[in-house]
Amino acid sequence: MTDTIKVIVAGPRGRMGSEALRMIEKEDNLELVACIDHKHDGKKLSELDGLPAFDVTIYADINTCFESVQADVLVDLTTPEVGYLHTKTALEYGIRPVVGTTGFTNEQLEELTDLAEEKGLGTVIAPNFAVGAVLMMQFAKMAAKYFPDVEIIEKHHDQKLDAPSGTAVKTAQLIQDVRESKKQGHPNEKETIQGARGADMDGMKIHSVRLPGLVAHQEVIFGSSGQNLTIKHDSFDRASFMSGVKLAVEQVMKLDLLVYGLENLLD
Ligand SMILES: NC(=O)C1=CN([C@@H]2O[C@H](COP(=O)(O)OP(=O)(O)OC[C@H]3O[C@@H](n4cnc5c(N)ncnc54)[C@H](O)[C@@H]3O)[C@@H](O)[C@H]2O)C=CC1
Ligand SMILES: O=C(O)C1=N[C@H](C(=O)O)C[C@H](O)C1
């Protein structure tokens, strides 16, 4: 029998955090031991409406939480600034972070990579936990070898804080690994309205759509003479991310460094 993994969830009232609670409730090898939330300090999760009725305490202060509760893993599903601080603090307390929160800067990712290595602690930061999205990114990386002209269109719900999405940035980074740096479009093109051509990453354009009704969607469009290739993924429901969160929580226990991207954990 495998040992139970003791998990703290940060952001339990959020769209992703609440889905993570529902996932943990169903899994015998995961045990929720506390939650971190800037509201409801000291309450039990079971006192909040609409969430699984776990008899665990909510802490507003992460240090108090880590000093009061013995845990193996912190699952962070909050906001970019908070998520970064949580990840750093978890590593300082010897707790392995599994981070779905997006919007970290490259400098923050580098700092966390160094800290995880120094502490010898597994850490997973995954911009997208949906297996289909991970495949979409891998297929895009494969295609970029043959189609260097590419634009990324990501579409999300209008409550999203960061743009471009973590998934779009990660996709562009994977493509950047295999293609020569390239400025796309006409060399003399001019935007008559600022932003019309989207964000630029190493010459690739990234377009961010935000609308009510959307969940998480991305198209990677490759163009070549006489042909286009479109690789597309849709998450219609946040349950789509949960098998990836579970895998990351299990695998982070076996790691002693930081991995960035769920693809590094898939067979
Ligand atoms: N990696 C992945 O597969 C996915 C990642 N995300 C990312 O996860 C993050 C959360 O997304 P959603 O759940 O949609 O957002 P949300 O806005 O529904 O939830 C964020 C939660 O964080 C809480 N929060 C804010 N400050 C806090 C603090 N100091 N301590 C504890 N909790 C705090 C808020 O109260 C809120 O409940 C975002 O960065 C998003 O981009 C979202 C979907 C999938
Ligand atoms: O905020 C979201 O919703 C999502 N965020 C992640 C991202 O920024 O890529 C993953 C997914 O796209 C949903």
Q: For the chain, how far is it from start to end, CA to CA, in angstroms?
A: 22
Q: Return the pLDDT at 23.
A: 98
pLDDT digits 0-9 by tens, 179-228: 999 989 999 999 999 999 999 999 999 999 999 999 999 999 999 999 99
ipTM of the complex: 0.99
Report d(CA 137, CA 173) in Å as an integer: 10
Q: What is the DSSP string of 123-151?
A: EEE-S---HHHHHHHHHHHHHHTT--EEE
Phi and psi angles of residue 106, each rounded to the nearest 5 degrees, phi first: -60, -40
Beta bridge partners of 232: 219
DSSP 147: -
**What pLDDT is stored for residue 3 in this prediction?**
87
Tell the residue number behind the tokens 């949580």, with chain if given: 86
Å from CA of 155 to ligand 2 middle: 9
The pLDDT assigned to 56 comes to 98
Which residue did the predictor score with more confidence, 267 or 31? 31
CA distance 254 to 35: 23
Is 167's C-beta closer than 6 angstroms to any atom of ligand 2? yes
Cis peptide before 164 (omega within 30 of 0): yes
Distance from Cα 246 to the centre of ligand 2, integer Å: 17
Q: Does any ligand 1 atom lie closer than 6 A to the CB of residue 156?
A: no
Summarised one tens digit per residue, pLDDT across range 32-71 is: 999 999 999 999 999 999 999 999 999 999 999 999 999 9
Task: Give the ligand 2 atom nearest the CA of 102.
Answer: 8
Name the residue with the closest Cα to ligand 1, atom 3.
128
Mean pLDDT in the chain? 97
How would residue 2 be classed by pLDDT, with cut points 50, 70 and 90?
low
| Rounded CA separation 17/238 (Å) | 10
Over the stretch 73-132, which tens digit does the pLDDT of each residue have? 999 999 999 999 999 999 999 999 999 999 999 999 999 999 999 999 999 999 999 999
CA distance 50 to 23: 15
Most informative mutation of 156, 211, 232 for ligand 2 (most atoms within 8 A of CB): 156
